[in-house]
Amino acid sequence: MARTSSGITISLCMIVKNEEKVLARCLDSVADLMDEIVIVDTGSTDRTKEIAARYTDQIYDFVWIDDFSAARNFAFSKAHMDYIYSADADEVLDEENRGRYRLLKENLMPQIEIVQMKYGNQLQYGTVYNFDEEYRPKLFKRQREFVWQEPIHETIRLDPVVYDSDIVITHMPEESHAGRDLANFRKQTDRGVRLSAHLHEMYARELFVAGTDGDFLRAESFFADSVKDTERSASELTEACCVVARAARLRGDTATFFKHVCKVIAGDGCSEICCELGHFYAEAGDYEEAAVWYYNAAYETQPVISLAAGGEQPLQGLVHCYEQMGFQEQAAIYRQEAKVHTGRIKSNMLQY
């Protein structure tokens, strides 16, 4: 990137609620890199606002309406600098990446409208993400400049200019947000909101990665409606069938379980459905049949929602089945496979 004369200016925009445990840690790691700090509080009852006041006087209250986008848009509306950096309170920039951030700020070309940064350390905390490191848009040009392009039949360039930086943000949550997020999904669906394809996938993923049995049962009616929704894509249909199949198995509703399993098996299948079949037969005491489906989940199909459904879960299922059948040597082989698989997933730094 060509060096500019004075670099860019950056507004840090954050939405927070009850973040007294981590807010100072986050701000200590980024405050000196920012030209402005905007903090929007959505209803804290702890010392969050008191801590924020050590770093900025631009603290605003926003009445929570179960909409993160509305809160972030409000925060962005208070920014005045060239670019906006969107951060969460459980993020940290270490010294190496603070240096990278400083260089980016000094050298960013003005035509770049979005800078993506790697979001790291995700798997350690049981989040809904399938990769330990992925690119996310984090720095946004506050005012977009529209540019004409093409020598004839000229048009306005609509796609933003995106730069993938080498900055890695360390994600260090104090606790899982799954309960909060699942409750928010339920509020949206109870209101009759039709979730976008992205949120449909995220709801299913949140359930499979961190949901309780009760969460699956409460989500069943929404995903059962998705199965019947002719405007949903094939991938959304698969996600919905996986959720309904799990809920039906938990309820002991065999007919509904197999109805939704078959819808997926009739296509390409997926690791999640094979795992569900493994669980079904294991619960029935048919360990030989359960092992067949766990094997299919691990080696013959691919996960579409949760990476664990194609690795750790079916491998542990195979261990259990072979132990129950008295084949300790085979169980030991799959126990080692599960150990290797888990280690590989945690050590690989993959881009989503």
The reported pLDDT for the residue numbered 159 is: 86
The answer to whether the beta carbons of residues 223 and 243 sit under 8 Å apart is yes
Domain topology for 10-171 = Spore Coat Polysaccharide Biosynthesis Protein SpsA; Chain A (3.90.550)
Q: What is the pLDDT of residues 258-292, one digit of tens each?
A: 999 999 999 989 999 999 999 999 999 999 999 99
Handedness of CA 28, 32, 34, 39 (dihedral sign): positive
Sheet holding 59-61, edge to edge: 59-61, 36-41, 10-16, 83-86, 133-141, 114-120, 162-171, 91-92
Residue 24, pLDDT above cutoff 60:
yes
Give dist(CA 174, CA 327) in Å, integer. Answer: 41
Residue 309, pLDDT above cutoff 50:
yes
| More confident of the two residues 307 and 278 | 278
Residue 124 pLDDT grade (very low, low, confident, very high; cuts 50, 70, 90): low
Domains 10-171 and 178-347 share a fold: no
Q: Which CATH architecture has domain 178-347?
A: Alpha Horseshoe (1.25)
Amino acid at position 253, single letter:
D
Mean pLDDT, rounded, for 94-104: 95
Give this prediction's pTM: 0.71
Residue 347 pLDDT grade (very low, low, confident, very high; cuts 50, 70, 90): very low
The reported pLDDT for the residue numbered 151 is: 67
Amino acid at position 169, single letter:
I
Give dist(CA 311, CA 302) in Å, integer. Answer: 9
- State the average pLDDT for the chain: 89
Strand partners, 38: 13
The answer to whether the beta carbons of residues 334 and 318 sit under 8 Å apart is yes
Residue 340, pLDDT above cutoff 90:
no
Mean pLDDT, rounded, for 224-241: 97
| More confident of the two residues 223 and 340 | 223
The reported pLDDT for the residue numbered 152 is: 65
Q: What DSSP letter does each residue of 237-271 carry, written as one string?
A: HHHHHHHHHHHHHHHT-HHHHHHHHHHHHTTT--H
Give dist(CA 203, CA 244) in Å, integer. Answer: 13
Q: What is the pLDDT of residues 132-155, one digit of tens each?
A: 578 899 999 999 877 777 666 567
Flag the least confident range among 54-63, 170-179, 204-213. 170-179
Give dist(CA 323, CA 340) in Å, integer. Answer: 19
Mean pLDDT, rounded, for 45-54: 98
The reported pLDDT for the residue numbered 66 is: 86
Residue 235, pLDDT above cutoff 90:
yes
Coil, strand or helix at 63: coil
Give dist(CA 165, CA 149) in Å, integer. Answer: 26
Mean pLDDT, rounded, for 76-87: 96
Domain boundaries, the chain: 10-171, 178-347
Q: Which two tokens stand for residue 254?
A: 């065999």
